Chain A
């Protein structure tokens, strides 16, 4: 760690505060991406991203081809939806996602000839993704294809990508940052994608960079992924893309922290990266952009990692969106005897869930299954005002004060101490010796503040 040098960028390669949880990535680090067979049914919620749901355009009983548009994103902040399999549309149903949202979903029963998913994955990993004739694509065309392909952020937040890349006269983009930090413990899907499909990422990065007219494109990777860095270095040779190797620290992959680490800029409170001339996309997202633009195929599949000590054989999988969590878990041998908690995403910010029929959505980066030993159910004691939460908070907040304000029903203090700047990374709860679930209290506090402001 002490040999860490960060050169070529204005930032320091790291950000203030943060934590070093055991990353446990070794469990699935070396597992090559496996392709799952086409499932019998897929369930596609009409809302898989931030924003408003898409409008279904298929009827029950209708047959659909692979990649056929089944929902249109009419509103600006919405995304199109495509069928990841060929089959027959069944009746709409309501599903509960791990984050607790109940949503209407289109379900499709597989029927007829399927495109083998192996072919799609081979496409992704092939060596002949173009790097030099990017300028034949008009920026606005790229934006339109991104919109039509239903691409959203695959890193977890699932913000519709076209919204970020639509040119905006008031906010020029200088730098496109491609986020390959993957700072959540356990998850390795981005790592595998960077290692196995680096060429598609590079093409996607160039296309996205062209869409936003970025002067610079930087792919950001933490220094615990040396093999991904090597692959990306090879793939970006003779391109304008730079690679930023960052210090491994949680939450390095968070937007504001990454911008600070690489560019030394602070995104204003409540602001977006575009406020400092930055657009940011996840590595998976830009790979999807490459597929959309070059292969004209919409977002129908993604890489997810299934890991944790509670999973029999941790794997990285290439799966159709809409496959059920249960099927994916069974494919990995199921859960072990001492499994205690199933989480959509990673252990720091993921949602634990119990309904295994819930579908994998566009924003699902993985499933983590923790064992009884790992989850802490220690008794909460009083805050001893040790200040460790303050020293851990990457947003430089005072978590203990926010949590107490929430507990004692005091929204004015909570908002005075900027409760809404908290992005629920979990660092404060992780370090608290009194085992207070500060994040949970802060979530309550945010609701109190919202109600109080709307009085």
Chain B
């Protein structure tokens, strides 16, 4: 209807005939739109959400609830303050909320989730101009903020203090245990997720299931997760061999941390990753290297968040370096 109404000149024969003119192309792919992409992401997140609720019970429900509501409210508030059209219907704020919640420890108190949401949406996204204009992944901006502001509540200790949790998932996260105490776990709980960690990162199985759905739907690129996983495998594999861990180190670094969740759901955010296929390979390579550098050489057991944020910062550069050569350009 809106198109027809633009032709308001009464002498225009197109109006009487219910016809209107517009520039080519006249057909568009009806299969996708931004909202549909976001809904895809939510569908892909479902196995992870279910797994986190199964593992962490009310902690997970509470954290998800807080973050989604806070993200939607922040988006509404900030967009309204900037006097722009309300953009909640593209569902991107809801997706940010879910991803943020899943990247927090279940024990984090309510104000951590709320502040992370406000910072993530407000500073991470709306200040840059809203969806599509932001340089950094909003969920990771929010998480980085609370991680620094509330180091106590977010550090390795936060995972161990979760009293009242299912027995299987109390205690240190697999990567902390390995890094600080040299303790190891079997591969089965690592893969299925019966371990401790941030809400969404423990279950490799759930992340793979959702991630493959995204890749098959072409909502997420396959190059980014593949190149991250390959890079991490190579670096962790070499460390494993040189340190004679007989595979334990590799398995922990692949399945024991936020790697799967990060590779499929955080690094693949189209807005903050490169445009071209080649750029996506470089992005994945860089993210993989940074993850392992942080995990191996810094005080933190986990490096996915900072690695993605750093690569977000160089994405404009990657875009420039990998700008495609037009056909026929010598």
Q: B272: nearest residue on chain A (CB-CB)?
A: A385
- A362 and B152 CA atoms in complex are apart in Å by 77
A347 at the interface (CB under 8 A from B): yes
Asked whether, in the complex, the Cβ of A352 is within 8 Å of the Cβ of B24, the reply is: yes
A256 at the interface (CB under 8 A from B): yes
B131 at the interface (CB under 8 A from A): yes
Q: Name the A residues within 8 Å of B221 (CB-CB).
A: 387
B167 at the interface (CB under 8 A from A): no
B209 at the interface (CB under 8 A from A): no
Asked whether, in the complex, the Cβ of A354 is within 8 Å of the Cβ of B270, the reply is: no
Asked whether, in the complex, the Cβ of A269 is within 8 Å of the Cβ of B329, the reply is: yes
CB distance from A353 to the nearest CB of B (A): 6
- A392 and B43 CA atoms in complex are apart in Å by 26
- A353 and B12 CA atoms in complex are apart in Å by 11
Asked whether, in the complex, the Cβ of B25 is within 8 Å of the Cβ of A384, the reply is: no
- A19 and B25 CA atoms in complex are apart in Å by 13
Q: Known contacts A340-B19, A377-B2; is A266 also within 8 Å of B25 by CB?
A: no
The contact string, 1 if C-beta is below 8 Å from chain B, for chain A 99-128, is 000000000000000000000000000000
Q: Known contacts A354-B14, A395-B326; is A443 also within 8 Å of B33 by CB?
A: no
Taking a contact as CB atoms closer than 8 A, the residue among B18, B23, B30 that contacts A439 in the complex is: B23
A271 at the interface (CB under 8 A from B): yes
Taking a contact as CB atoms closer than 8 A, the residue among B36, B90, B328 that contacts A269 in the complex is: B328
Q: Known contacts A348-B24, A350-B26, A382-B130; is A266 also within 8 Å of B327 by CB?
A: yes
Q: Known contacts A354-B14, A433-B36; is A376 also within 8 Å of B327 by CB?
A: no
Asked whether, in the complex, the Cβ of B327 is within 8 Å of the Cβ of A382, the reply is: no
A440 at the interface (CB under 8 A from B): yes
Asked whether, in the complex, the Cβ of A341 is within 8 Å of the Cβ of B26, the reply is: yes
Q: Name the A residues within 8 Å of B24 (CB-CB).
A: 343, 347-352, 424, 426, 439
CB distance from A270 to the nearest CB of B (A): 8
Asked whether, in the complex, the Cβ of A387 is within 8 Å of the Cβ of B328, the reply is: no
Asked whether, in the complex, the Cβ of A396 is within 8 Å of the Cβ of B324, the reply is: yes
Q: Name the A residues within 8 Å of B133 (CB-CB).
A: 382
Asked whether, in the complex, the Cβ of B326 is within 8 Å of the Cβ of A391, the reply is: no
Asked whether, in the complex, the Cβ of B327 is within 8 Å of the Cβ of A384, the reply is: no
B3 at the interface (CB under 8 A from A): yes
CB distance from B318 to the nearest CB of A (A): 12
CB distance from A334 to the nearest CB of B (A): 11
A437 at the interface (CB under 8 A from B): yes
CB distance from B190 to the nearest CB of A (A): 32
Asked whether, in the complex, the Cβ of B329 is within 8 Å of the Cβ of A384, the reply is: no
Asked whether, in the complex, the Cβ of B26 is within 8 Å of the Cβ of A440, the reply is: no
Asked whether, in the complex, the Cβ of B27 is within 8 Å of the Cβ of A390, the reply is: no
Asked whether, in the complex, the Cβ of B33 is within 8 Å of the Cβ of A434, the reply is: yes
- A358-379: which have CB < 8 Å to B? 368, 370, 374-378
Chain A contact residues: over half helix, strand or loop, or mixed? loop
Q: A427: nearest residue on chain B (CB-CB)?
A: B25
Asked whether, in the complex, the Cβ of A386 is within 8 Å of the Cβ of B37, the reply is: yes
Count of B interface residues, CB-CB < 8 Å: 48
Q: Name the A residues within 8 Å of B270 (CB-CB).
A: 384-387
Q: Name the B residues within 8 Å of A378 (CB-CB).
A: 28, 33
Q: Known contacts A21-B29, A341-B21, A433-B37; is A390 also within 8 Å of B276 by CB?
A: yes
CB distance from B34 to the nearest CB of A (A): 5
Residue among B26, B27, B277, B330 having the largest count of chain A Cβ atoms under 10 Å: B26
B275 at the interface (CB under 8 A from A): yes
Taking a contact as CB atoms closer than 8 A, the residue among B26, B131, B329 that contacts A352 in the complex is: B26
- A376 and B28 CA atoms in complex are apart in Å by 6
Asked whether, in the complex, the Cβ of A385 is within 8 Å of the Cβ of B25, the reply is: no
CB distance from B251 to the nearest CB of A (A): 33
Asked whether, in the complex, the Cβ of A375 is within 8 Å of the Cβ of B328, the reply is: no
A245 at the interface (CB under 8 A from B): no
Q: A419: nearest residue on chain B (CB-CB)?
A: B326
CB distance from B126 to the nearest CB of A (A): 12
Asked whether, in the complex, the Cβ of A430 is within 8 Å of the Cβ of B327, the reply is: no
Asked whether, in the complex, the Cβ of A387 is within 8 Å of the Cβ of B276, the reply is: yes
CB distance from B145 to the nearest CB of A (A): 23
Asked whether, in the complex, the Cβ of A394 is within 8 Å of the Cβ of B26, the reply is: no
The contact string, 1 if C-beta is below 8 Å from chain A, for chain B 19-51, is 111111111111011101100000000000000
CB distance from A46 to the nearest CB of B (A): 24
Q: Name the B residues within 8 Å of A263 (CB-CB).
A: none
Q: Name the B residues within 8 Å of A335 (CB-CB).
A: 17
Taking a contact as CB atoms closer than 8 A, the residue among B21, B22, B28, B325 that contacts A396 in the complex is: B325
Asked whether, in the complex, the Cβ of A433 is within 8 Å of the Cβ of B326, the reply is: no
- A151 and B279 CA atoms in complex are apart in Å by 47
The contact string, 1 if C-beta is below 8 Å from chain B, for chain A 432-449, is 111101011001000000
Q: Name the B residues within 8 Å of A270 (CB-CB).
A: 328
Asked whether, in the complex, the Cβ of A375 is within 8 Å of the Cβ of B27, the reply is: yes
CB distance from B3 to the nearest CB of A (A): 5
Asked whether, in the complex, the Cβ of A375 is within 8 Å of the Cβ of B26, the reply is: yes
Q: Name the B residues within 8 Å of A356 (CB-CB).
A: 13
Q: Name the A residues within 8 Å of B13 (CB-CB).
A: 354-356
Give 7 A-B contacts (CB < 8 Å), ordered by A residue: A268-B329, A268-B330, A377-B1, A385-B270, A387-B270, A390-B275, A394-B327
13 A-B pairs besides A431-B32, A433-B34 with CB distance below 8 A are A21-B27, A185-B27, A268-B328, A339-B17, A339-B19, A343-B26, A348-B25, A348-B26, A377-B2, A385-B270, A387-B280, A398-B324, A439-B23
